[in-house]
Structure 1
Amino acid sequence: MPISTTNPATGETLETFEAMDAEEVDRRLERARTAFEEYRTTGFAERAELMRRAADELEKDQDEIARTVTTEMGKPVAAARAEVAKCVKAMRWYAERAEGLLADEHPSQGDVEDSGATTAYVRYRPLGPVLAVMPWNFPLWQVIRFAAPALMAGNTGLLKHASNVPRTALYLEELFRRAGYPEGCFQTLLIGSGEVEGVLRDRRVAAATLTGSEPAGRSVASIAGDEIKKTVLELGGSDPYLVLPSADVAKAAEVAVAARTQNNGQSCIAAKRFIVHREVYEEFARLFTDGMRALKIGDPMDESTRIGPLSSERGRADLEELVEDARKHGATVLCGGRRPASHPAGWFYEPTVLADITPAMRIHREETFGPVATLYRVADLDEAIEVANDTDFGLSSNVWTRDRAEQERCVRDLRAGGVYFNGMTASHPAMPFGGVKRSGYGRELSGHGIREFCNATTVWHGTPPDVPAAE
C-alpha cells in the first residue's frame, strides 16, 4: 500500500510520500536508543512539564489538525475536533498523575521481615524504545493513548502509523519536537508494513504495542515472542449491545445509533451486535432503525454531517460483501444496505440495519467496520449472554437494564474487557482499556496502561540502605 494522503470523500490522492530507506530507519533507531539513555534519568516534574507543553500545542492546533484527520480518513470534522480534545485531556491527565501511578510500592512490614530484608519495595523503571504500530481510524487518539503514558514513564517512542494517514503521523513527531522533547524521544517511521519485522527484531527496540487487525496482531505477537519482547495488543471487536425488559428503550435506541455509527462505524469498540429481549424487540427495532435512517450522510467537512465516507475503497467493498452474504442467507434489510445515490464519488455507505441474523452468515462471526448493525431477538437473559459470547472477540460490551441482579450476572458472565451499563463504551484515561480472546491482551490507559512498559523492579536490602555493610 502506498504511503499517501487520499481523500476518501472524493477518492483523490492529494500527496504521496517516499518511504524511509534502511539507513534513515537505522539513524532513527539509534536516536531513540541514545535519547532513552538520557531521558530515562529525568524526573517526573520535567516529563510532566514537557507533556503539558505538548498538550498546549495540540490544543492550539485543534482546528487545523482536525481538518487534516478528516481529509486523510473521512471522519466528520466535528468528531475529529473531539478526538483532539480527548488527546489533550489524556496528556494532561498523565502529566498530573504519572508520578503517583508509578510510585514505589511497599509490602507490609511483616512481609518485608519475613523475606529477611530490612527494607524492600518495588520500583517501576522504563524499558526503552517502544515501537507503536497504529491504525488510521483514530489517528491521533490511538497514538496519544500509547505515547502519553510511555513518555511519562521514561520510555521513548517509535511510531509506525497506517499508510493512509502520513500527514497526521508526521504532525505527531513535530508536535513533541515543538514541545521541547529531546531529539529522538518520539519519532515517526514512514515505512510500509513489510518493514515492521526488521524494526521489531532490532535489539534497540525494547517492546511493541499494536492497535489494528487480528492478522496484524498475530504477526507482531509472533515476531515479538520470537525475540522475547513485551507486547500489548488491541485488536478487533464485535461488541454486543444487550437491551433487556427493564431498560429505557427509547434512550437505549438513541444511544445505540451513536454507539454503532461513531467514527462512521469504523471503531473496534463500536457496538455491532444488538441483542434485544423479545418483550422490547419490536419497539427497539423500530426506534433504532428510524434513528439510523435519519442520519445525515455527506461531506465530512460539513459541521452537520453525521456519516462521512469509509476510509478506503477496499474497506467499503469488504463491508458490501458482508451485507450481500447476509442478504443471500436470509437477512432482512430494515434500512440501508447500499451505496447512497446522492454521493456517487467517494467511499460512502448508507447506515444499515440487518435483522434475522443466523450463524450461517459471515456477518455473525466477522467484524463489521462500517455503519452496519445486526439485530438479534432473544427469549431471556440466558440466551442474550449466550449470543453475546458467541464470538471470537471480547473487547467490550454494553447492557441496558435497571435490574441489579441482571447487572451482576452480566459482569460475571460476559467475556469482554469491559461491561458498560445503560450507556455506550468509551475509553477514558482513568479506566483500563483492552480485551480478551482474539481482541488482544494487555491494557492501555489508567495505571495499568502506564505500567505495561515498565520493569517492575524488586529492591531488597539485607541491611538498612543508609548503613554501610560490614567488610
Structure 2
Amino acid sequence: MSHSYTLNDIKPVHRPMVIDGADSEADSGETFTRNSPAHEVPVSSFPAGGAPDVDRAVKAARRALEGGWRGATGSQRAKLLHRVSELVRRDAEQLALAETLETGKPITQSRTEVASTAELWEYAATLARATQGDAHNGLGPDTFALVVHEPLGVIGMITPWNFPLLIVSQKLPFALAAGNTAVIKPSESTSATTVMLAGLVREAGFPDGVVNVVTGNRHVGSAIATHPGIDMISFTGSTGVGRTIAQTAGADLKKVELELGGKNPQIVTPHADFAAAVDAGVFGGYFNVGQCCNSGSRLIVHRSIADEFAEAVTARAKTMRVGDPLDADTLVGSLVNDAQLAVVERYVEEGREAGARLIAGGERLQDAVGPRFFTPTVFADVTPDMSIAREEIFGPVLSILPYDTLEEAVKIANSTSFGLSAGIWSTDIEEALVAARDLRAGTVWVNRWMDGYPELPFGGYGQSGIGRELGRQALAEFSELKTIQLQVGPRTTRWVPTPDASRA
C-alpha cells in the first residue's frame, strides 16, 4: 500500500554501521548528518568511519569467508538470498521513503527501484545453485581436466548516490552467490538504504561478517581500495574517480570492476514511431533529474524531422511535473546537492556560449520547495564538438543533434569516449540492425530505452567501465577460474630417461 507524506512525517534517524554482524559506531566516535536536498531538513545521521573501521570490517569479512561461507553450498546461499528479497519487499515502503529523503527523487520512482532491487536478489538466488565449470575428456587417454569457479575473496564495494539501493544490489547478491564476502562503502550523501539492507541481510540469517557496511567520506573509499585484505574492488561512479581507483588497485594487482559514466545517444530516424521516440527522449533525459549513467541525453535526430521533434520534446518538457518528491504526482525531483546544481548551470552556460539554441528550461525552478530544482532543459542545433554533446552533465539537459545519413548518426553516436548505452528508433528492421551492430556500447536498445532485467549483463565500452554486472556473467566477475589437470593411469613420459630400465 502506498502512502502520502508531509514534512511533519520526517524524523531524523541515526543509523549505525554494520561490522561483523553487529551495529557499530566509528572508531573516532564522530558522526555526520544528511539533510534532504529537497526539503533542507536533517533526515539521517551516520558514524563517520575511517581506516580503523575499514580494517575491522575487512578482518571480519576474511574470518567469515574462511570460517565457512566460502564452502557453503549453493542451496544454502540461495535460500539466504531469496530471504533477503522477501524482506526487501516487506520493508519496501520504509526503504523507498529513506531513498527519497536522501536523494530527492520522487517517491514513486523510489518505490519502483525497491521493487527492482527485490528482483535482483531473487535472480541472484537462482545463480547460487547454477555455478558450474567445464570438464575436458578429449585431451588424450591419459588426461582428464576440470575448470572450476571459486570465490574470489573479500570484495570492496564503493557505490554512488544516484541509485544507492539498486546499484549495491547489482553487485552484492551476485558476489554472495559466488561465495564471496563484502565490505561496502555507500555514498555519504545516501547511506541509509545500504545500511538498512545490511540489517535485512543480518535478519535473513547470513553469517556474521559476510556483509559489512562502513559509512563515511572518500577516506573510507581510499582505505578500502588500498587495504591489502581486499581482493577486488567493485565501483560505480564517475569516470574520473574510477580511473583513480583502477590506478590504486593496479599497484597491488587487485581485480577491478568499474561501472562509470555515459553520454548515451538515441538515434531517431524518419522511420521511428514518432510519439514513442519523443516520450523516450523525455524519459531518458529527465528520469532521476538526469542523474543517471544511462541518461539518454543526446538525441541524434534526422534533419528532416529534427525541428518537429525538438518542438514535441520541448512541449513535453514544459509540462513535466517538477516538485516535492514526497508528492506522488511528481515526475522530476531535486538535484542531489549544490555541487551538482553548479555543474548543471555551468554546462547550460557553456551550451549557450557555444551557439546551441536553448528552447526550454535552463534555470532553477522558481517557487520550488527547495533551491535545487532545475527546469527540464532542451538545446537544439547542437553540434558534436560542444561540451553539452560530449561530456556527462548528470542533470536534466537534453541536446538535439541533427544528422543526414545513418552512417553519420552512428559516427556521431560513437564520437565520445564513453560507450555505456545507445539506442535506435526505427521501424525499418535493416536500419535498426545496422545501427545495433555498429554502435559502440555495452547495451543497445531498439525502439525502447532504459529497460533493464537482472538476467541481462550491464556495463560499458571505453571510459564507461571495465567488466559487467548482472546476468549469469556477473558470477564470472566475482570468481576465480581454476584449471585442474588429472593424470589418468601411470605417467610414462619421462623428461630425463631413467638409467635403470627395470624402473622406467
CA–CA distance in 1 between the matches of 2:73 and 2:165?
Answer: 26
In structure 1, what is the equivalent of residue 287 of structure 2?
A: 262
CA RMSD between the two structures: 1.9
CA–CA distance in 1 between the matches of 2:393 and 2:460?
Answer: 17
In structure 1, what is the equivalent of residue 33 of structure 2?
A: 4
1:121 alignment partner, SS class: strand
1:269 alignment partner, SS class: coil
In structure 1, what is the equivalent of residue 211 of structure 2?
A: 186
Instruction: Indicate if the aligned counterparts of 1:338 and 1:349 stay in contact, CA closer than 8 A.
Output: yes
In structure 1, what is the equivalent of residue 270 of structure 2?
A: 245
**1:180-237 deviation line (CA, Å, top 9, x unaligned):** 1111111101132123233222221110110000111011100111110100001000
Instruction: Indicate if the aligned counterparts of 2:263 and 2:298 stay in contact, CA closer than 8 A.
Output: yes
In structure 2, what is the equivalent of residue 75 of structure 1?
A: 105
1:418–1:289 Cα change, 3 Å: same
**Aligned residue type for 1:11:** E
TM-aligned CA deviation for residue 359 of structure 1? 4.7
Determine if the alignment matches structure 1 residue 65 to structure 2 residue 95.
yes
In structure 2, what is the equivalent of residue 106 of structure 1?
A: 135
1:406 alignment partner, SS class: helix
In structure 1, what is the equivalent of residue 455 of structure 2?
A: 430
Structure number with the bigger relative contact order (C-alpha 8 A, sep ≥ 6) is 1
Task: Choose which of 41, 60, 65 in structure 2 pairs with 1:36.
Answer: 65
In structure 1, what is the equivalent of residue 434 of structure 2?
A: 409
CA–CA distance in 2 between the matches of 1:89 and 1:212?
Answer: 23
Task: Choose which of 71, 83, 86 in structure 2 pairs with 1:53.
Answer: 83
Give the number of the structure whose alpha-carbon radius of gyration is greater: 2
Task: Choose which of 29, 43, 49 in structure 2 pairs with 1:20.
Answer: 49
**1:268-288 deviation line (CA, Å, top 9, x unaligned):** 011010000112223322222
Instruction: Indicate if the aligned counterparts of 1:210 and 1:217 stay in contact, CA closer than 8 A.
Output: yes
Task: Choose which of 252, 263, 269 in structure 2 pairs with 1:227.
Answer: 252
In structure 1, what is the equivalent of residue 178 of structure 2?
A: 153
2:320 alignment partner, SS class: coil
**Aligned residue type for 2:230:** V
1:26 alignment partner, SS class: helix
**Aligned residue type for 1:131:** G
2:366 alignment partner, SS class: coil
Q: Structure 1 stretches of 5 or more lacking a match?
A: 465-471
CA–CA distance in 2 between the matches of 1:229 and 1:326?
Answer: 40
Instruction: Indicate if the aligned counterparts of 1:4 and 1:165 stay in contact, CA closer than 8 A.
Output: no
CA–CA distance in 2 between the matches of 1:234 and 1:453?
Answer: 14
- Greater Cα offset, 56-65 or 90-99: 90-99
Instruction: Indicate if the aligned counterparts of 2:43 and 2:101 stay in contact, CA closer than 8 A.
Output: no
1:414–1:22 Cα change, 3 Å: closer
2:412 alignment partner, SS class: helix
2:394 alignment partner, SS class: coil
1:279 alignment partner, SS class: helix
Instruction: Indicate if the aligned counterparts of 1:3 and 1:192 stay in contact, CA closer than 8 A.
Output: no
- Greater Cα offset, 5-14 or 252-261: 5-14
CA–CA distance in 2 between the matches of 1:18 and 1:93?
Answer: 32
Determine if the alignment matches structure 1 residue 352 to structure 2 residue 382.
no
Instruction: Indicate if the aligned counterparts of 2:424 and 2:436 stay in contact, CA closer than 8 A.
Output: no
Q: Where do 1:452-467 residues align within 5 Å? A: 452-463=477-488
TM-score by length of 2: 0.88
Determine if the alignment matches structure 1 residue 144 to structure 2 residue 169.
yes
TM-aligned CA deviation for residue 344 of structure 1? 6.0
- Greater Cα offset, 351-360 or 125-134: 351-360
Percent identity of equivalent pairs = 36
Q: Where do 1:56-455 residues align within 5 Å? A: 56-100=86-130, 102-107=131-136, 109-110=137-138, 112-113=139-140, 116-117=142-143, 119-343=144-368, 345-359=370-384, 361-455=386-480
Instruction: Indicate if the aligned counterparts of 1:4 and 1:166 stay in contact, CA closer than 8 A.
Output: no
CA–CA distance in 1 between the matches of 2:378 and 2:469?
Answer: 31
**1:90-112 deviation line (CA, Å, top 9, x unaligned):** 11111123322x212234x43x3
TM-aligned CA deviation for residue 21 of structure 1? 4.1
**Aligned residue type for 2:124:** Y
CA–CA distance in 2 between the matches of 1:393 and 1:147?
Answer: 25
CA–CA distance in 2 between the matches of 1:106 and 1:402?
Answer: 45
Q: How many residues align?
A: 461
1:372–1:3 Cα change, 3 Å: farther
CA–CA distance in 2 between the matches of 1:53 and 1:341?
Answer: 45
2:47 alignment partner, SS class: coil
CA–CA distance in 1 between the matches of 2:390 and 2:196?
Answer: 37
**Aligned residue type for 1:367:** E
TM-aligned CA deviation for residue 332 of structure 1? 1.1
Instruction: Indicate if the aligned counterparts of 1:250 and 1:284 stay in contact, CA closer than 8 A.
Output: no
Instruction: Indicate if the aligned counterparts of 1:211 and 1:233 stay in contact, CA closer than 8 A.
Output: yes
CA–CA distance in 1 between the matches of 2:54 and 2:307?
Answer: 57
Instruction: Indicate if the aligned counterparts of 1:140 and 1:168 stay in contact, CA closer than 8 A.
Output: yes
Instruction: Indicate if the aligned counterparts of 1:243 and 1:400 stay in contact, CA closer than 8 A.
Output: yes
- Greater Cα offset, 123-132 or 168-177: 168-177
Instruction: Indicate if the aligned counterparts of 2:291 and 2:396 stay in contact, CA closer than 8 A.
Output: yes
CA–CA distance in 2 between the matches of 1:321 and 1:307?
Answer: 20
Instruction: Indicate if the aligned counterparts of 1:249 and 1:280 stay in contact, CA closer than 8 A.
Output: no
